[in-house]
Amino acid sequence: MNPTATHPAAQFDIQRVRADFPILNELVHGKPLIYLDNAATSQKPNPVIKALDEYYRRYNSNIHRGVHALAERATEAYESSRRKIARYLNAPNQHEIIFTRGTTESINLVASSYATSVLKPGDEVLITWLEHHSNIVPWQIACEKTGAVLKVVPINERGEVEPDQFEAMLSERTKIVAFAHISNALGTINPVREFTEMAHRAGAVVIIDGAQAAPHMRVDVQAIGCDFYALSGHKMFGPTGIGVLWGRTSLLDKMPPYQGGGDMIQSVTFEKTVYNDLPYKFEAGTPHIAGGIGLGAAVDYLDALDAEGIMAHEHDLTRYATEQLSQIEGLRLIGTAANKVSVLSFTLEGIHPYDMAPVLDHEGVAVRTGHHCAQPVMDRYQIPATVRASIAFYNTRQDIDALVAALAKVQRMFSGL
């Protein structure tokens, strides 16, 4: 925990990586941008911006049904993204990669299509106290429709889901278990493999909200062993409005379509419609073609980076930030899990997070304040909101120092109140 100790992150060429992200040179209120809101959305590297630009500039066209050169090129680029993502997640089959608008839609797809067709009254859906609203509300809706019951595994004071408590809440009634890989509000990394094994032993199907994990680590869906994995492109350096649901073929095949429309059918008559094969069965209408292609570019970009170097760098930054913030009088860190990364959620005694936000903003520091779409987490700690600083691999110790300096200014400005 010594911030001056040498660490593997020292080998990670941070300046070269930062040069790939043009937005990091922006000035905010006349000050250099210190972007620490990565859990909300990440910034985009040049190759992603270029891929979007090139698609619209050179081969914009609808996919899958065109017979001309541009349509073929667009289809190939879009489908090649699917292949890249399948490989990146170590999915056994590329047709298991369903493009969605993001994690929220991916979870809604499973909750709407899978959950409502299998759940019966008295069945249980198990989630954890750490979940983002998008991994709570779709299950509430599915339970309301089916008469199933939503159960919630509590967290401890550090913000961890304890494996024995998790296991204790599983039973033969548990049909679906949904949990975050990494908590967006606290940064806690859940033991996803262990939880998946436990849930499978109880006979439940497992869906993991990977929105916060994909930007920070290599995700291997086969190694985890889960049944569905959801992620958002915009949080992993890709465009907004595109995300992925990975699911097992055996489950996806049995699921009814989520939305009806073009591209998801083989044949339509007024009497009967035959649905298309995977993945198209779940991709009704013209998709976000540019987004899919941009996400492929983001995956290529991540693939070329040193994944271990990134993780070491982010863990080092998280440790450094934890130490620096802990030295601030009156600062309370919310979420101190033994295994956490990238998120520093905190309150300052006597100063509402919303009062801190404008001061931090005018110092060029971009953070998030609020309940982070995780109101139950805030209730657990009996606080209305936190300030959340969240790190990406392009952040530096100087960024953390700037945050600490801005917080000192907050304290000066509010000291007389």
Partner 1 sequence: MTHQTDVTIEELIENFEFLGDWEQRFTYLLDLGKKLPPMPPEDCNEQTRVHGCQATVYLKERVINNGDTRIEFDATADAFLVNGLIAILRIIYNAKTPQQILDTDIQGILKQLDLEEHLSPTRRNGLHSMVKRIQSLAAAHQ
The residues assigned a catalytic role are 373
The answer to whether 265 touches 51, Cβ cutoff 8 Å, is no
Q: Smallest distance from the beta carbon of 230 to partner 1, in angstroms? A: 26
Q: Smallest distance from the beta carbon of 378 to partner 1, in angstroms? A: 12
Q: How far apart are CA 310 and CA 347, in angstroms?
A: 28
**Contact pattern for partner 1 over residues 375 through 394, marking x by CB under 8 A:** ---------xx---------
The dihedral formed by the CA atoms of 7, 8, 11 and 17, expressed in degrees to the nearest 10: -100
Candidate residues 75, 135, 369, 411; the one interacting with partner 1 per rule CB under 8 A: 369
108 binds partner 1 (CB under 8 A): no
Indicate the residue type of 68.
H
Q: How many CB atoms lie within 10 A of CB 173?
A: 17
Q: Smallest distance from the beta carbon of 398 to partner 1, in angstroms? A: 23
Total of residues contacting partner 1 (CB under 8 A): 17
Q: Smallest distance from the beta carbon of 416 to partner 1, in angstroms? A: 9
291 binds partner 1 (CB under 8 A): no
Candidate residues 352, 373, 375, 401; the one interacting with partner 1 per rule CB under 8 A: 352
Q: Of 256 and 358, which has the nearer Cβ to partner 1?
A: 358
Q: Which of 287, 285, 228 is nearest to 252 (CA)?
A: 228
265 binds partner 1 (CB under 8 A): no
Q: Of 291 and 353, which has the nearer Cβ to partner 1?
A: 353
* Tokens matching residue 381: 């700690």
Candidate residues 361, 396, 401, 404; the one interacting with partner 1 per rule CB under 8 A: 361
Which residues have CB under 8 Å from 102's CB, separation 6+? 211, 232, 233, 234, 240, 241, 242, 243
Burial degree of 67 (CB within 10 A; 0-12, 13-18, 19+): exposed
Judged by CB under 8 A, the stretch of 63-71, 103-111, 270-278, 351-359 that binds partner 1 is 351-359
- Interacting residues with partner 1 between 52 and 91 (CB under 8 A): none
DSSP, residue by residue, 19-59? TT-GGGG-EETTEE-EE-BTTT-----HHHHHHHHHIIIII
Residue 307 φ then ψ, to 5°: -60, -40
Judged by CB under 8 A, the stretch of 20-28, 56-64, 96-104, 359-367 that binds partner 1 is 359-367
* Tokens matching residue 298: 């983001």
413 binds partner 1 (CB under 8 A): yes
Q: Of 319 and 362, which has the nearer Cβ to partner 1?
A: 362
Q: Of 275 and 414, which has the nearer Cβ to partner 1?
A: 414
Strand segments (E) across 60-144:
97-100, 124-128
357 binds partner 1 (CB under 8 A): yes
Q: Of 317 and 356, which has the nearer Cβ to partner 1?
A: 356
Candidate residues 132, 370, 380, 392; the one interacting with partner 1 per rule CB under 8 A: 370
Q: Which of 136, 172, 187 is nearest to 314 (CA)?
A: 187
Candidate residues 50, 332, 362, 397; the one interacting with partner 1 per rule CB under 8 A: 362
Q: Which of 241, 185, 177 is nearest to 212 (CA)?
A: 185
Q: Of 77 and 359, which has the nearer Cβ to partner 1?
A: 359
51 binds partner 1 (CB under 8 A): no
Candidate residues 351, 377, 392, 400; the one interacting with partner 1 per rule CB under 8 A: 351
| Cis status of the peptide bond prior to 92, with omega within 30 of 0 | no
The answer to whether 359 touches 387, Cβ cutoff 8 Å, is no
**Contact pattern for partner 1 over residues 14 through 43, marking x by CB under 8 A:** ---------------x--------------
The answer to whether 224 touches 206, Cβ cutoff 8 Å, is no
Q: Which residues bind partner 1 (CB under 8 A)?
A: 29, 351-352, 354-355, 357-359, 361-362, 369-370, 384-385, 413-414, 417
